Amino acid sequence: MPSPVSLLGLPYDSSSSFQRGPALAPPLIRQALASPAGNLWTEGMTDLGVPGRLHDAGDASLPEGPDARERIEAAVAALLDRGFRPLSLGGDHSVTYPILRALGPRYPRLTVVQFDAHPDLYDVFEGDRYSHACPFARIMEEGLATRLVQLGIRAMTGHQREQAVHFGVEVQEMRRWRDGLVPPVEGPVYVSFDLDALDPAFAPGVSHREPGGLSVRQALDAVQRLPGPIVGADVVEYNPLGDLGGVTARVAAKLVKELAGRLLE
């Protein structure tokens, strides 16, 4: 029987550049997930409403400073100790680093599949090594994942390309996207989904709108096609302050639902 999934809200955006706002996201994603406008069945016909399948650990209590990373790591570790597979609701993308500090050592040969417009591989960004532009540099340099596969990238810089080469990152740029793409991964997989991987026409409620991205359907197809097992996931960078009519909250909730279904396989 698969391990149950637990939602964990991470209301943190102190490591954001340009705009704050993702700290407000977790309750709004939950609200969209529970909306009577939809239901809790996944497209793969898993009923997340069955007792014991989808737990909610609530929101972690997070300060604005660096102590937040330790609290995130501890909160994820506590869920893992209880036998849950964590599905975290960000928050800015910096939260993925402490999540993987808790999860990575428990899964040898872990592959991270990152959906994102940006590589988030800066060594330092605006003087901050823990910026939301840096988490995957920290993850790879600490060996928290064996492989990093990035999908949807379309805002690469020269420095980040050098970093990708240095860490052996497998970058699938959006300009070379083809439908039906399945990354050749084996073993345990962690999925990190930055909502700006999507074209802003589908998800306007993000801090860094980057045109030319994935459609919701393309993203869902990619999630559904990923080899498993998927052992954890996060959905990050929803910024309600830039949303239009709650559209992005609904998209985030749809992704959470389909990721939860994959985690239960």
Quick one: what percent of the chain has pLDDT higher than 90? Answer: 94
Count of domains forming the chain: 1
pLDDT tens per residue across span 17-42: 989 999 999 999 999 999 999 999 99
Domain harbouring 127, CATH code: 3.40.800.10
Q: How far apart are CA 172 and CA 176, in angstroms?
A: 7
Q: How far apart are CA 9 and CA 249, in angstroms?
A: 14
pLDDT tens per residue across span 145-198: 999 999 999 999 999 999 999 999 999 999 999 887 777 788 999 999 999 999
Q: Please check the confidence at residue 98 and state whether its pLDDT lies above 70.
A: yes
Average of per-residue pLDDT values in the chain = 96
For residue 75, the enclosing domain spans: 5-263
Q: Please check the confidence at residue 107 and state whether its pLDDT lies above 90.
A: yes
Evaluate whether 216 touches 251 at the Cβ level (below 8 Å). Answer: yes
Query: Rounded to two decimals, what is the model's pTM?
Result: 0.97
